[in-house]
Structure 1
């Protein structure tokens, strides 16, 4: 079954009015019939969560009160009371004749999809820095001296680092030379640069559904329209992917084949070959995000998707953020020399290159990765198993499959309760990654992304704190019918 979904709500565009139907989809199942809280407070809580998650961007104008009341099927008094509460808290600003506009209390930072807004953050799948990061910067400071005689501007990036990255690709089965690599400021920055070069306003971009929230934000930020291809219970829908490309004629497709975020799946070799053949036949460029590629537990993934492409155009994004540390803010693009040259010209309008100290630190990490990456994988595998045991003990109605790599579980709830659960979790200082963050138009309200990157004690404390909220919301734990990835 092919499920093609478009999103053109423009939530990440400043000073733009949000349609009432778009807001309805984002709110999901916000009403809690068993809750003692009045309806207006439930609505205020749900809207606040959207703002804190970044799904309602600052300066977004909400629909009028009458229109909201009609769309949400509640009284206008409920709308007025909810908006008044958010105004009092500093989340909305209203002016006569111009409606309500999203703002933020002065003490809060501007939220993003991964901003830790609570004392316990279960919305971000990432690790803190290990001792090797301090070592890397120490070596980088010593190594920077010869570079100080130069300007430090280099849009392609440090040659030694590009050589190290090229060697990594070659070792994984994708022969690469340094001229086919550009250093950028993270994988999302690389995606934004590719979008800037290849797309224009209104162009379609195919994505897995669900997919990485910041990829959706980057696509919408480029004024493009993400088109979702639903993922089946296992693997990828090859026929659905082919039909979507044929029906929508997208400018490109964004895929994450290596421990996909959020499902944790790894694309097998046969699927990689089929996907690249379809892309070649339809002349669709593929942008492949390999952010999670180093975080495998039982066995490494197949060769890069680009290694299967004899005719298709494949642009590969890499990152030091998950493999080493997010604070490095360093990534890379691997593509043909012609594409790299075109990206260099496009980059002239954005920045003059990536920070040299971080490049030197990343180079040292790549040269020494075998001294710490195996131990990191082992530690994460233990945390994955510990998280799975905790969820089975405290939340038996949740269903999931332990991923073979990555940093999180994709958990199916027995009902569409993710938004309501996340709202309640906020009230005790825990920020959850509701499934709706990973979908288009408010989809996946019966899913949670549960990271296992926290230490054992911290994760157990968070889940035990969430248990009474879940029991109050779900009534009694009852087994669901099936288990999905």
Structure 2
């Protein structure tokens, strides 16, 4: 099979900051940047890199620079030359089978502190809910077990939770999925046709933009900043200019920035989406994890008429990541389209997980109260320590969520992450969260761990920053050895 080609234009977008912070020869800086993209997972294994001449033109460098960079990657085992296929991304033999240090998925060695997934340990109520759910197992066993719609009792309590939050909801507006990611992917398959524009925030949740790309969507980014949030004018202009089929947004405690969309911006988003015929998909997986202040109403509760708003929720962030239960709130006609499309990908949500979630959702408020206390302590510890020990960093104190989106001041996120991994702490670099790469000046830092692990993380980040000198130079030429 012919390898998929990474176009010169796409490669150039991923390599926006490849020269920043480096005094190495151009070909070495380029090969290091490409190596990080492979390690990072932003350039997948098996992909064919652009022809030397094409990439040279896209980057504004000589063909010799690109040729020497490719040669260096071949000698390091990151590229192989295949007859008729050009230069194909490869993993060196000594790394094959080992975990990818920056991808959000995968397993790492037991001695490493893996912080790629921002998640909490199971709430104590989960074990209690399992015990209560067991009572309902005999009745569930009377059915065949294939459930593409969702347990009626679970759909009822999810609808009740929306109603409590100010969005009157009927169980007929709910479909239960295998986690929020499954909901995103299913909606992408239903709502996006190949070539359709899809508006996404930049940065954003990585697996969301992957799902829309796999569905054939053409991603259009709008910026979100940890301090200033959304540029409402840019958001409206982009919607009107591109008329996207879908606008995927995280209006409450955005991942990774922690920003919350103001009411005026929400109304402007929905009014413009109604005018352009855009379906707004609001991901609320972080939405209830507020630490300070009062939560906004769910996006679909806005008074703006004629807007198609789809809500995505999840049990994972509030209760436990191992409880693979998500849901979609939408009008019944869209849910019916989802149900017709669903069997090609899965045949239903696990019944036992649904029974546990049915016990937990009515107890959401009590669980959140304990979560807030824990997250407030974690946030204040991490933010305070980073501000004290790394004063050159911009460390926001978000009003909720699970992470802080740290500004490093220099495009060295991947270098910093690789240096930290060498000391046993695994984080996701900022570039992972960019739909087209970038964000090498940022690092997502979780505050979800126990106090000892938080202290260990900050200690390692301080040493890693000193090791790379704040500019990434300290580990250039040795990235593969650090992995």
Q: TM-score, normalised by structure 1?
A: 0.86
- Superposition pairs of residues 31-430 of structure 1, within 5 angstroms: 46-64=33-51, 71=59, 74=65, 76-87=67-78, 92-104=79-91, 105-108=95-98, 112-115=103-106, 117=108, 119-231=112-224, 233-308=227-302, 309-430=304-425
Partner of 1:483: none
Deviates more, 1:344-353 or 1:318-327: 344-353
- 1:32 & 1:425 partners in 2: Cα distance? 20
Give me the CA root mean square deviation.
Answer: 2.7
Contact 1:272 1:305 in 2 (8 A): yes
- 1:353 & 1:175 partners in 2: Cα distance? 26
> 2:135 aligns to what SS in structure 1?
helix
CA displacement at 1:140 relative to structure 2: 2.7
Unmatched tracts of structure 2, length 5 or more? 472-483
Aligned CA distance change for structure 1 residues 405 and 58 (closer, same or farther; 3 Å): same
Contact 2:113 2:424 in 1 (8 A): yes
Aligned CA distance change for structure 1 residues 69 and 83 (closer, same or farther; 3 Å): farther
Aligned CA distance change for structure 1 residues 475 and 149 (closer, same or farther; 3 Å): closer
The number of aligned residues is: 459
Contact 1:53 1:114 in 2 (8 A): no
CA displacement at 1:398 relative to structure 2: 0.7
Aligned CA distance change for structure 1 residues 276 and 21 (closer, same or farther; 3 Å): closer
Contact 1:40 1:82 in 2 (8 A): no
Query: In the TM superposition, what whole-angstrom CA distance separates every residue of 1:140-194 from its partner, at most 9, and x where no partner exists?
Result: 3332111111111221100000000000001111110101000011112111111
Contact 1:14 1:60 in 2 (8 A): no
Aligned CA distance change for structure 1 residues 136 and 273 (closer, same or farther; 3 Å): same
Unmatched tracts of structure 1, length 5 or more? 1-12, 477-485
Deviates more, 1:194-203 or 1:423-432: 423-432
> 1:314 aligns to what SS in structure 2?
strand
Aligned CA distance change for structure 1 residues 295 and 400 (closer, same or farther; 3 Å): same
- 1:475 & 1:266 partners in 2: Cα distance? 30
> 1:231 aligns to what SS in structure 2?
strand
Contact 1:154 1:352 in 2 (8 A): yes
Deviates more, 1:144-153 or 1:13-22: 13-22
